[in-house]
Chains A and B, each alone.
Chain A
Amino acid sequence: MSLLRSVARELKNDFVGAATTPLDLYRELRYTAAGVRSGEISPMRPLKTAGLTLGALVAVLTLLFPIYWILISALSGTGGSIHSVDGLRLLPEKPSLQPFIWVIGDLILPSYEIGLGIPFSDSTLVFNTPGFELLDASDYGVESPSGFKKFFWNSLMVAIPTVILGMCLIVPAAYALSRREFIGRRKILFGYVLLTQVGGGLGIALLIGLYTVFVQVGINDNKLALSVYYAATAVPFNTWLLKTYMDGIPVSYEEAAVVDGAPAWRVVVEVILPLSKAGLATVFIFTFLTGWTEFVVAQTLLGTENYTLPVGLFSLVSEYSVPWARFSAFALTFASPIMLVYLFAQRYIEGGLSFGGMEG
């Protein structure tokens, strides 16, 4: 609970921080300007800052150019294409948000009737919640919007159990590996480091075997089973990552808690976990991403009704034609939550990935 509250607080701080950034920038500008005018600050300095910032911006934009290019095609009102004969184009042709609207579809919250029986009487209070019509796709000429919302829901239904299960497997293991000495500890650690990457490319032949097993057990086309699979693949890397992070937490906190009379599990819950926040956030994002972006296994195991977003994305592509505008719009919409999450979790992820325990 307090964890949630602290997350909320951090979020608030981030928002405030983000909101005051322009203000700070303005203050700096004013201060520098005043300094330059009075001759205290040589004009080279702000110029150098501006130049370097600009350089960085150019570098970042160059890196992101493919994304921008996708965006152009997503905003194109003419179906878009990544093959454009008409030369390098930096603005979309006949710009239109239609592809995005097609992706999102209607956003209509239907009105519900809520009846509240009043105790000891026969009467019922009836409320009608107002219906919200945020976006009606047909207003924009989109007749049959994509299945994005359904896929999104499916993806959530896969990703959430993946994260929950993954965390349940990873956190205790990471703790034990970081703080306890037991038989095989080093072997397991070593194995985990080895296995962090091996496996991804085992190939599709594997998949058939895997699928057959799933069918045998009767859990194919089951989102939960897929989650279990994802959680399993996420185990080695993330366990190792979290363990490394936990290594960086000073033992004295634990000792203080032990001397304070806390039993082991409370030490973990009250001290280790809150202090591993950054590591947990990183692991959280990585396990989430596992389930969110994986395509091949999901496509093999899931039936049409259970398609997750990546599979849904690829069901847009038919043998010969790619509807680029919609395809791109779909992909970008799909990636946007991750971007947002990262924007806010950035500090933690950068902290969580710092391999605190790795001494050089």
Chain B
Amino acid sequence: ASVQENGETTTSGDGAGTTDGDDSTQTETTETGPAGTAKAWYRLQNTELEARKEALSQFNADSKHTIEGSDVSDLKKKTTSAIPAGQGPHVFDWAHDWVGDYLQRGFVVDRSDQLNVDLNTFTDAAAGAVQFDGNVVGLPYAAETVSLVYNKDMVDEPPETVADMKSVMKEHHDPQNGTYGLSYPFDPYFVSAWAQAFGGYYFDPDKDPQLGLTKSETVKGIEFALDNLKPYMPKDPSYGAQAAPFSEGNAAFAINGPWYLTTLKEKGVNFGVASLPKLESGQPRPLTGIQMWYFSKAMGEDGADTAAAQSFVEWYVTNEDLLTTAAEEHGSIPVLESLSGSDALPSDVQAFSETVSQGVPMPTHPKMGKVWQPLTDALTKVYNGDAGVEPAMKQAEKTVRENWE
């Protein structure tokens, strides 16, 4: 039994009351079987939270099932401790990079046999992202990646090439007076576009070697970013420090994800989104994340609650209205084949969507988990100028290998 049953969740308060009346009229989910109750966890920005609540109450109203949603801070820690203790949710919402690791730990379960949704309804990248070793551990609903954001008050046209971009940045970069060329958090995820631009990669289970940190292409990509972008950025590579100048209207460009747009709107920055600028050779290929609903361990057994959770997820990921609204309001990039790339989407989203299509989904393999930290360390080091790219990557690779053992 769960203690949470006693307490009402944020949304079900009103939802439960209104369900009775509408129940008979709206029966989209045509399953048989008893009504179930399931917990859903997510971690969202304030603005998105409203929409999520809205969606939940809509589902609860339309379905005989009840989904109790909670916005959980530090989802990783909570899932790590709660799921093994049997206290976890039925489904939770996060990017796909936990797939392999969580599957291995037994935190999530394969439901490929029970699915009512064909994976082909999603983009290939999205469909691939929710699987590991043939197990389908969840369903995707959005993609995210970083792309170029420009300040329309400072830049007339988004640059086509890195060279164009550089000249604009040069023009605006003046730290003494508090203006910068570029706002760009410097960590493995953000930098991946360049690291992989020349054919390099961090980690790819299908390649040999799996670890590509020291491959000359990777090194070259990182060096490219250092040479061409770093000179126009604030000195602090951390997200907060990098995000600030652009969001205050003091930088010409930012490279950031859709979540950033909320802040920009709040602060009233006149911005535009474009795909990443082109290179003379190669092309920026950022890592992309797929937002998905995971099937947690609690769905390992079939039952009313599992059915509730599954029907909710299936409803959610295929609901075009919902996803379109999300795209319009929060810059969420749909991965439904039917919506992806659609002209109906706002231009920002289209731009992101385009970048996504150039990108590479993050690896889901559990080994990837041990790559991030050494790589971050290495990037910080090279950003600070404490080491050359090559030795830093060598060191990182060594550490990763040790940790893999």
Contact = CB atoms under 8 A, between A and B. Distances in A.
The answer to whether A and B touch directly, with their CB atoms under 8 angstroms apart, is yes
B87 interface: yes
Interface stretch (B73-81, B161-169, B299-307, B381-389): B73-81
Nearest to B71: A304
Interface string A179-218: 0000000000000000000000000100110011001001
Contact of A315 (B73, B82, B85): B73
A346 interface: no
Given A79-B267, A318-B43, A322-B240, A300 B81 contact: yes
Contact of B241 (A83, A87, A212): A83
Contact of B266 (A79, A86, A208, A319): A79
B77 A304 contact: no
B248 A86 contact: yes
Contacts of B70: 303-305
A212 to B, nearest CB: 5
B85 A321 contact: no
A314 interface: yes
Interface residues of B, number: 46
Given A81-B248, A207-B81, A320-B239, A315 B4 contact: no
Interface string B220-261: 000000000000000000011101110110100000010110
B178 A85 contact: yes
Contacts of B248: 81, 84-86
A13 interface: no
Contact of A299 (B44, B45, B77, B243): B77
A170 B25 CA distance: 61
A304 B72 contact: yes
A144 interface: yes
Interface stretch (B7-15, B149-157, B331-339): B7-15
A84 B179 CA distance: 11
A315 B178 CA distance: 31
B85 A220 contact: yes
Contacts of A215: 85-87
Interface in A141-155: 144
Nearest to B246: A85
A299 B76 CA distance: 12
A227 to B, nearest CB: 15
A303 B39 CA distance: 12
B8 A320 contact: no
Interface in A298-345: 299-300, 303-306, 311, 314-323
B180 to A, nearest CB: 8
A222 interface: yes
Nearest to A301: B81
Contact of A211 (B71, B81, B180, B268): B81
Given A314-B74, A318-B45, 12 more contacts: A78-B267, A78-B268, A79-B263, A84-B244, A208-B81, A221-B3, A221-B87, A300-B78, A303-B3, A318-B44, A320-B257, A321-B263
